Structure 1
Amino acid sequence: MAPATEHQSSFLSRISRRNQVVSMDVNHEQELEELEDFQKHVAEGFNELLPPSDSPESDPILSIQWLRKLLDVFMSCESEFHSVLTANQAQISKPPLDKLVPEMLDRIVKALDICTAVVNGVDSVRQIQRLAEIAVTALKQTPLSDGSVRRAKRALTSLLAAFNADKSSGGSSGGSSGGSGRRTTTTEQWSSFGRRSGGGGGGCVSKNWSAAKQIQAMTANLVVPRGSEASPIYIMSSVMVMVMWTLVVAVPCQTSNGLTVHLPLPKHQVWASAAVSITEKIGEEMKRKEMRSGGLMEEMQRMERIGLKLMEFSEGFRFNGEVEVVAEVAEMEEICRKMEDGLEVLQRRVREVFHRLVKSRSEILEVIGHCNV
């Protein structure tokens, strides 16, 4: 009986080992399938953000509506990422994820600061919008009087000074809503994110905080994991950095001077192809404007261009009706209307991203806790 028992034991152990191998193969295939699905999801999201060359009606890159779509894509990618991560919890404490996870958690903290700065930056854009509205109201008066033009000129002076301040100091912008000509910098306006958003944020950033340095820190160790062409955490980290970089480019943020023009995204990977194209287009715009700071929101660029024309008109105004700026005033009014409708929704989207990142970080820490038990 002993030999038979030994043979049976040996047979059962072989069956057990074979089942373990089969189970490991099945799990690995499932992980690869989930990773491929996640990459497709990311690629499709960013492909939708690339404006078709034959569609002039599409939202321009860095416009308010486009930025809202970008944040929607980010939220969708983050949700998909969470599903992939929770389905493979056992892998989170093993190489290469054991190193990538802490780096991602650190990036999330930096991204929260950037969300805070962007929300405040949108407030500074609103102040610029109010100055433009004052100028529009004054220049729409009929008949146009010297007094109306002077009011418009005061508002335009503050508006253009805000744009120049943004370029020279890397994110300080704004102006007095009454068009008195006194400039108020974003740093002076800095207040608690939670207070501005009705208690929905995570506090304010310090005066020495720099959006550009935050982006640099987020990209410092953003490299493809060794021995792996891609991983969900690396992909999601790259997406997060790209989205935060784009927000800082578009919205005047505290000290965005020195903002990098290029991001370390892998061109050869399918999931990153559209994202790389988008960042390259934005980088070209930064070079064209000779800017390394934020404030390239499409509506802001148009507003500055028209503001210069209206200022030229107001400085040379003579009450003789020879020069008209009806078209420019109408365009400025249209931009103000877009900002009025869009900035609040954009700000709300950024707050939603803030809360999603807070939740995501807590959930990742919870998974780590379970793995370490």
Structure 2
Amino acid sequence: MPATDNQGSFLNRISIRRNQFTSMDNNHDQELEDLELFQKHVADRFADLLSIPSPNIPPIPTPNSNSNSNDSSSAAATDSPSAATETQILPPPPLMSISWFRNLLDAFLCCEAEFKAVLVSGRDPSQFSKPPLDRLIPDLLERAVKALDVCNAVTHGVDLVTHWQKLAQIAVTALNQNPIGEGQVRRARKALNTLLTSMVFDDKENANSNFHGKWTERTRSFGRRGAAAASALNSKDRTAGNFRSLSWSVAKSWSAAKQIQAMSSNLVAPRGGESTGLALPVYIMNMIIVFVMWALVAAIPCQERNGLATHFQIPRNLGWAQPIIGLQEKIGEDWKKKEKKGTAGLLEEVQRMEKVANSLVEFSDTFVFPLEEEKAADLAAQVAELAEICEKMEEGLGPLHQQVREVFHRMVRSRAEVLDVVDQVSKLSAPAPY
């Protein structure tokens, strides 16, 4: 009997060890599957932003000329309104437009949520205290703090673009009057000159501006009529101060370009065994954070963008990175061209607004009453285009502002959750006091 008991005990221990190894194998397989899915989802989301057709979208069916038996059914399916609705694929928004950035921030929020699930959910907290996570997690948290500063600056930049939209709307309202006279043209020219002055405003030369007016006071000044409003619009010093205080709430020494440079430094892709572990999703999320913040800074007015990097190193052999590299190259090329001209940013609506505003200012300089029929038609077309831009901005800038704030708060919450896990690990590893 004792021998039998010992034998049973030994077999039980073997069974327990076997179950432990099986459980570890299952957990490892699940972890690999989660990593593969995370990479695939990142690639798919950014491929959509690059306007690359997703392999998951079925092609639009076409009639088969070689099959006579299915001609009638194919024609019926093609002519059916429901079939047309199912196969219709809306064109993607223009790169760097407000709608595109809203899609970009949606993709970021989805990637961030999935990353947190891969990193934290069901994870043994003790892994956070082991290499390589013991050094990668603090680096990720520090990068998130820098991204919060960028979000704050971008939020104020969106406010500035909203102010530009209001100035452009003043010009649209004035030039839509019929008949149009000297007074309307003069009012439109003042608003457009103020708009263009702000767009080419060099924050380096005016870094020591001391004007700190409030947004409500600025908008109210454009609502007043008469000589006081005209004087405010024509004052160059006042204009520079207004837009400085509107856009920048960070320290005068803060630089968006340097912030992005600091965020993109020390980003090294995992190698060897780390390339199949948790180091990989941490690296991917770091790259996503840097890319999204870099794109926002390139498009939205931010303090000190001179010298903004046009690219950062991403290994080309990584499948998930190909769409991000493609977007980086496109945006970087545009930035190289526009930066030399002192542009207000790469936001598509802002670039169009700047072009139309310049054209309308040229028109106002040569305006003669009564307006010739050909010039009136050209003016109407330009005013209609500016009105369309204003409408898109009015519809999109508010939601974009909210999304940037949502990104800000999401990163704050996620950072706090990761810090909680790190604190738990520290408490568990601390020696018991005796």
Distance in structure 2 (CA, Å) of the matches to 1:210 and 1:103: 20
Shift of 1:30: 1.6
Change (3 A) 1:276 1:301: same
2:69 matched residue in structure 1: none
Shift of 1:57: 4.2
CA contact (8 A) 1:169 1:257 kept: no
CA contact (8 A) 1:176 1:184 kept: no
Distance in structure 1 (CA, Å) of the matches to 2:352 and 2:147: 28
1:187 matched residue in structure 2: 244
Change (3 A) 1:262 1:169: farther
Distance in structure 2 (CA, Å) of the matches to 1:339 and 1:6: 79
Distance in structure 2 (CA, Å) of the matches to 1:98 and 1:4: 48
CA contact (8 A) 1:71 1:349 kept: yes
Shift of 1:281: 1.1
Greater Cα shift, 158-167 or 334-343: 158-167
Change (3 A) 1:219 1:306: same
Distance in structure 1 (CA, Å) of the matches to 2:324 and 2:202: 27
Q: Which has the larger radius of gyration?
A: 2
2:67 matched residue in structure 1: none
Distance in structure 1 (CA, Å) of the matches to 2:419 and 2:413: 10
The count of aligned residue pairs is 359
1:200 matched residue in structure 2: none
CA contact (8 A) 1:52 1:58 kept: no
Distance in structure 2 (CA, Å) of the matches to 1:58 and 1:81: 26
What secondary structure, in the 3-state scheme, does the structure 1 residue paired with 2:356 have?
Answer: helix
TM-score (norm 2): 0.76
TM-score (norm 1): 0.87
Shift of 1:305: 0.5
Distance in structure 2 (CA, Å) of the matches to 1:240 and 1:226: 21
1:136 corresponds, among 166, 172, 185, to 172
Shift of 1:138: 1.5
Shift of 1:168: 7.1
1:76 matched residue in structure 2: 110
Q: Deviations over 1:47-101 (max 9, x none)?
A: 1212359x99431111001101111111111111111112324322221111110
Q: Deviations over 1:309-359 (max 9, x none)?
A: 101101111113132311011000110111111101100011111110010
1:275 corresponds, among 314, 321, 324, to 324
Structure 2 residue 397 is matched with structure 1 residue 340: no
2:148 matched residue in structure 1: 112
1:88 matched residue in structure 2: 123
Change (3 A) 1:22 1:85: same
Q: Deviations over 1:186-217 (max 9, x none)?
A: 432357xxxxxxxxxxxx52222111111111
What secondary structure, in the 3-state scheme, does the structure 2 residue paired with 1:231 have?
Answer: helix
1:103 corresponds, among 136, 139, 154, to 139
1:313 matched residue in structure 2: 363
What secondary structure, in the 3-state scheme, does the structure 2 residue paired with 1:289 have?
Answer: helix
Alignment of 1:1-373 (within 5 A): 16-51=16-51, 57-86=91-120, 87-90=122-125, 91-165=127-201, 178=222, 180-182=233-235, 183-185=239-241, 186-189=243-246, 204-227=249-272, 228-229=274-275, 231-291=280-340, 295-322=345-372, 323-324=375-376, 325-372=379-426, 373=428
What secondary structure, in the 3-state scheme, does the structure 1 residue paired with 2:201 have?
Answer: helix
CA contact (8 A) 2:199 2:344 kept: no
Q: Cα RMSD over matched residues?
A: 2.8
